[in-house]
Structure 1
């Protein structure tokens, strides 16, 4: 319990009480005339609950475990108004302020820390009075308070480790980010590949992802004379183009053919394409490949670009990211358009593809998953401004009851034998057809279009596209003479990948897609954390990665207090 505030003296000045409550970014005193915080309780250190075990005739008990219970914070207040009407208006505003779940609670005497709590009760007040006192109760399911600032740490210059001076008095679970080598060359190469990454502390608690035994190349010994033939799995990057910079498209457009591609249905290939801003900004890294002119047509029409692979790929993984949504203008719901990503063979037959289109007013469109030239699945999809698939990110504003939306934007199409798998912004579906087992992709066509004379979608473009060929290399083994050969192997991580590990949620994401399968079964999620004082957390990655192509590591955390 903190000291009592003299409200008679306080009402004569404009200063806030020392324990004034800022909820979701604004003090209540600044929103309601006549409101004043009197006192606060429940912010003090929280005592743990102990679970103990008694053993026979042994004196005392043995500690089994301890935990911290839910925290309850009580705010005493006074409300002074000039009339019954003003009193009711003030209470309506107060209830609106308190109605947000999981509110951010900051107190004036400790502005650098916050609790997360939900309003759960309010004391009764005397009826018929315009000057009252009462209590507001918040329940904090998470009993700890956190630093307002989130800290980001770079590795120390003399080694692969983070040195963190942690000033909280309770453990904090950090977030790790790994940015693999950024390859903007547009050429076929294996730069930036990596087999695993790991994080560990001084007590040998480890978070490991990928396979530490995975090599860049596999050594194969071949014996001559007696012939043996076997297959070695390997990969080859056939396409890796990013369009996020203003000059990205100019650097690679000579490798593409415009408006002569293989597309689904009878859309008209016309218009021009180039680098366009995907946000209302002129900053680099915000561009994408989009239509700069749609031409004319009485149905869906717009430009296409087609890339021919240096060699056909029977099994592959195509990954790409796009933005596709209407804007928030008055006429935004009238915007129409389509996006196609089509993979075809050398003869122009469609092997696989995606067709997303919006053909009428509203916020909804439809998507098609295409295999072997036919639509295997068609369903509705949200194309509003902040849709979770390909929309624009939205920043949270608790005061306005606006939640954060972080959209996926990333998709993939994978072929493994007779199985074609789609991950369309998080919508996953697989199809099995023996008819495609031996078919190979040779060309990739991207189309961005609008419908007839309707206004085009405000946002419709491609950030990057990458295709990796998976195949088995035939190796011949002979007896008598031993020959050593080296072959590329399939690696977990590649150039331009971004890998994020949130140890507080025990989650891992690769290019914004959940990849819990990359984590080792024995990962020490509960035991790898920051504690008060100096902490040293090391990291490692495949030792065969050359220093020029090494991944970059970051650590982020908030301080946690009882």
Structure 2
């Protein structure tokens, strides 16, 4: 048996006074915290650009070699309206304090379940007057947005992913497994991908597979040296309908975030 928990942000808790495309940057709703600030329009989401690596041919055209998605650039146009130069300076200073922090999570009121990670590279004002329009430029090195954490948990020796929109190549965030009995080794597999730990593991020990850190930890101690060289820590990709299997019964928790373009 297993359970599935969707930890997406509930859009119903948004303030009704926020604009449709209000931005939350690093946990701060700019429209709530900056007096006189109003988000006007956002551009750059739901787009992508792909860089192609190819080679010249003696004949027509080029030969395709590889390609990659380039970073995503999001622009937020906003209005800031104040009554005095003192107030204008104070509000712009507060805005700069929030936006100067690099590599922050951000999302928008109209699509809170799509979370980006980006850095503000420019704040540009049109006129530097008390009622002024400005543009915030945010560069996201990772062009994908992600859902908030999804957690699948249960007991047994397998879990099948439901149809939650896993359409792009991605690994889980973490897998935690607690075997129900002492075992001599543990294999976690998904199709032709596997992670094999050649080490004795006691019953109920906590086995953590961390796909971001590329590490395997048993009871808070790294055991990467006992993971076979052909294990797929870096490309243990999952998609809708896939089944993760464990070589023994136990309790599991699979944490993942769904990638979105």
TM-score interval, normalised by the smaller of the two chains? 0.7 to 0.9
State the shift of 1:156 in Å: 7.9
- Native 8 Å contact 1:155 1:161 kept in 2: no
Cα separation, 2, equivalents of 1:539 and 1:64: 37
Does 1:199 pair with 2:201? Answer: no
Q: 1:101, CA displacement in angstroms?
A: 2.2
Aligned-residue CA RMSD (Å): 2.2
| CA distance 1:55–1:176, change in 2 (3 Å) | farther
TM-score by length of 1: 0.41
Paired residues of 2:24 and 2:107 also in contact (CA < 8 A): yes
Partner of 1:179: 178
1:535 pairs, out of 242, 245, 250, with 242
Does the alignment pair 1:558 with 2:257?
yes
Q: CA deviation at 1:44?
A: 2.0
TM-score normalised by structure 2 residue count? 0.84
Displacement, 1:61?
A: 4.4
The separation in 2 between residues aligned to 1:161 and 1:50, in whole angstroms, is 39
How many residue pairs were aligned? 244
- 1:23-172, aligned counterparts within 5 Å? 23-53=25-55, 57=59, 60-127=61-128, 129-148=129-148, 150-154=149-153, 160-165=157-162, 166-172=164-170
| Equivalent in the alignment of 2:7 | none
Offset at 1:500? 0.6
Q: 1:523 aligns with which of 231, 250, 260?
A: 231
Contact 1:155 1:163 in 2 (8 A): no
1: CA distance, partners of 2:97 / 2:105: 15
Following superposition, the deviation at residue 28 of structure 1 comes to 0.6
SS at match of 1:534: coil
Q: Secondary structure at the match of 2:236?
A: coil
Give yes or no for contact 2:100–2:120 (8 Å, CA) kept in 1. Answer: yes
Quick one: distance in 2 between partners of 1:52 and 1:505? 32
SS of 1:88's partner is helix
1:350-499 alignment to 2 at 5 Å? 492-499=200-207
Q: Which runs of 5+ in 1 are unaligned?
A: 1-13, 182-191, 211-490, 542-549
Aligned partners of 1:125 and 1:132 also within 8 Å: yes
Structure whose alpha-carbon radius of gyration is higher: 1
CA distance in 1, matches of 2:67, 2:197: 31
